[in-house]
Amino acid sequence: MNDTQITVQGFVGATPGLKKAGDTEVATFRLASTPRYLNRRTNEWVDAPTQWYTVNAWRGLARNVAESLLKGDGVTVVGRLNVTTWTAQDGTERTTLEIDATSVGHDLRHGTTRLSRNEKPADRPEAPPVAGPEAPAVGGAEAAA
């Protein structure tokens, strides 16, 4: 597979909408990312032009994105980059940058968040419990008694 993977940090431009594409749910939102760089001549930080991406999240990720993100949220998006060039009605050539997201998360430099896990589907068996420090060890004091 020769997909271009990309990771972009930025801000949600509008609260994501959830819709159906056939039988599949998709959440779409615009992501604004403004790169900064140090101008070595002036020794000052400078903002480059803002880059806008259309982010598409599919299926379960779509539902989570639609329920979790609001306009202005700082996020990190990982996914496949698609670049499309087209001609507008006025004859100018335009480029659209789209990301098919594989992962979306809040950027914790800007605030805190809590994960609320999705419910497991009824047709999926539950994983066996993992022994932790509070769980009795196999062959421990109970086995010796």
Q: In 3D, which of 94, 106, 115, 99 has the Cα closest to residue 10? A: 106
Q: In 3D, which of 64, 58, 66 has the Cα closest to residue 99? A: 58
State residue 119's pLDDT score.
80
The more confident residue out of 125 and 54 is 54
Mean residue pLDDT of the chain comes to: 86
17-60 per-position pLDDT tens digit = 999 999 999 999 999 999 999 999 999 999 999 999 999 999 99
pLDDT at 137 over 60: no
Q: Convert 72-110 to b/e letters by CB count within 10 Å (16 or more is b).
A: ebebbbebeebeeeeeeeeeeeeeebbbebeebebeeee
The more confident residue out of 70 and 137 is 70
pLDDT (average), residues 96-111: 93
pLDDT (average), residues 110-118: 86
DSSP single-letter state for residue 15: -
Domains and CATH numbers, the chain: 5-109 (2.40.50.140)
Q: What are phi and psi of 144, to 5 degrees?
A: -75, -25
State residue 114's pLDDT score.
87
Tokens of 53: 């991406």
pLDDT (average), residues 112-123: 79
Q: In percent, how much of the chain has pLDDT > 90?
A: 70
